[in-house]
Structure 1
Amino acid sequence: MIDRKLVTIDLDGTTLNNQSKLSTKTKKVIKAASKAGHIVSIVTGRPNRLSTPIYDALELESPMINFNGSLGFNPHQKWSEEYQFTINRDIVLDLLKNYQRFDINLIAAEGKNLFLAQQQQPTELNFFPSVLQANEELNSRSLSQDPTSLTIQASENKLQSLSIYIEEKYGLMVDVNAWGGPHNVIEVGHKGIQKATGVEKIAHYFQIKRQNIIAFGDESNDNAMIDYAGWGVAMNNANSHLKSIANDVTRLDNENDGLADYLSDYLQLDAANF
């Protein structure tokens, strides 16, 4: 009988290459891990609308964690532990009133079954439509529920003051995190919720001990997950802080199947199949 592991995988910069694609090797290794009896779960900052196709391509049946831990569900079947943490819609409405003050280009409010956005001009962020449909426009009338996540793009010289404004006014209710990289983007989520929140729920559901969790990530939103896992692995292309807190670093980066290379060795999968 195998010592069953829970394998939690970030998507962008980790499981996906720089073109946001799955390689053939990555698909084969993850499918082999599942076939061997391990639980593989996607744990991502992405919304479920953008990660379910990847979930399907990997032929997963496990719960999936979205919005950096704020949503946990199974895309195609009922999960008894499904959950969703939200933020007060009044925060969104306040930010809409301060659109010009902070030179905001995009505000997107999302949830499991929610996508609404307001933008000044078409965005280059591939997570969002370049042009919004009428039923996707965010305003006080269309936002009839509390969202799970807010994504905000603003000018570089106003992003810090915007973050400070949100933290000073709503810091007891929400956390504010920067995307990093070339985009002037911040995310707003429920206070104290991180990827580790979802990982813990999945592990408890499958009765997998913490020391049998292996987690892969590359950015600051993976810090808590890497720290929580019994074996946290930073990608070769990860930021320096994540590498410093991880148990190990992959030999290869996300462009060269770093996750698949490491996981096949770690789980002692049959390399001849890859």
Structure 2
Amino acid sequence: MNQTKEKYLIALDMDGTLLNKDHIISLETLNYLKKLNKDGHKIIISSGRPIRNIISFYNELELTTPIICYNGAYIYPGKEINFPEYCFSFPQAKIKSIIQDIGYDHLDNVILETNKDIYLLKDDETLEVFFTKNNMNVHLGPIEENLNEDTMTMLIKVKDEKDNHLVQEAVDKHPNIKLRFWSGKWLDISEIYFSFINKGKALQKICEYFKIEPDHVISFGDASNDIEIIKYAKYGFAMKNAEDDLKKHAKYITEFDNNENGIIMELKKIGL
């Protein structure tokens, strides 16, 4: 990779990428990215999280760019006031059909969200790190009774990960709807999404707005929901700690992981 002072758009996943094991941005990474931002590079946060669980990091980095939330289902303009807000909603009829096919006997929880409302079967504090309920309208109980709107996300948590095949079978009945399972200690959680909604499509919209071509895009991720942003960018990095599935699609793999400032080590090699 050549040393360069050209301006780039840098797309960063959060958990397992930008954030370390303590769910914070290290001081070294924070200061380096703030300097790049002041130098004129566009830094984009790209996450499966809702906006309320991203905004504090966005402000900490002193960013003004749009934010990719819910794995591309929602693009928040941020301080880029002329950027058109984008939102894709998951039809509630599809949600209810999938839940019915899985069966409540196999479900530990269902997590559905808009920017104002959260729908859950029950409270689950273990998910707070990703989906805090601050200032949200929380609806607990059977989804078919409580849900009266389309949502931006659909997560399923089964009682036993052996029941994940029931989720897959329910999803397979619906064209254009796909399923991905979380990794690590979250193997009982799966995300249901439309095949045309992903971080890569959202990143493309942002690049088109700023008139930035893929050969001036650098992206970093650690999981299968990052495949599209990794493939879109000229410099697409899977973190050293990334899932093997992502590494298969990556042009590059970072020398260091998310606990070792892996992002900025590679940005320095590029010459930023």
- With the shorter chain as reference, the TM-score category is 0.7 to 0.9
Matched residue, 1:117: 119
Matched residue, 1:163: 168
Number of aligned residue pairs: 265
Matched residue, 2:193: 189
Deviation at 1:263, TM superposition (A): 1.8
Gaps of 5+ in 1: 269-274
The structure-2 alpha-carbon separation of the partners of 1:77 and 1:70, relative to structure 1 and needing over 3 Å to count, comes to same
What is the RMSD computed on CA atoms of the aligned residues? 2.5
The worse-fitting range, judged by mean Cα deviation, of 151-160 and 236-245 is 236-245
The structure-2 alpha-carbon separation of the partners of 1:115 and 1:144, relative to structure 1 and needing over 3 Å to count, comes to same
Detail structure 1 runs of 4+ shifted over 6 Å in the superposition: none
Paired amino acid for 1:164: E
1:232 is paired with a residue of what secondary structure? strand
Q: Percent of counterpart pairs with the same letter?
A: 27
Deviations 1:63-106 (CA, angstroms, capped at 9, x unpaired)? 01011111112234534332111111112233454574451111
- Aligned partners of 1:70 and 1:190 also within 8 Å: no
1:182 is paired with a residue of what secondary structure? helix
- Aligned partners of 1:109 and 1:116 also within 8 Å: yes
The structure-2 alpha-carbon separation of the partners of 1:191 and 1:2, relative to structure 1 and needing over 3 Å to count, comes to same
Paired amino acid for 2:64: E
1:1-274 equivalent positions in 2, closer than 5 A? 2-76=5-79, 78-97=81-100, 100-101=103-104, 103-111=106-114, 113-120=115-122, 122-125=124-127, 126-128=129-131, 135-137=138-140, 139-140=143-144, 142-154=146-158, 155-168=160-173, 170=174, 172-183=175-186, 184-268=188-272
Matched residue, 1:272: none
Normalised to the residue count of structure 2, the TM-score between the two structures is 0.88
Matched residue, 1:271: none
Gaps of 5+ in 2: none
2:25 is paired with a residue of what secondary structure? coil
Paired amino acid for 2:117: F
Normalised to the residue count of structure 1, the TM-score between the two structures is 0.87
Distance 2:212 2:192 in 1: 30
1:13 is paired with a residue of what secondary structure? coil
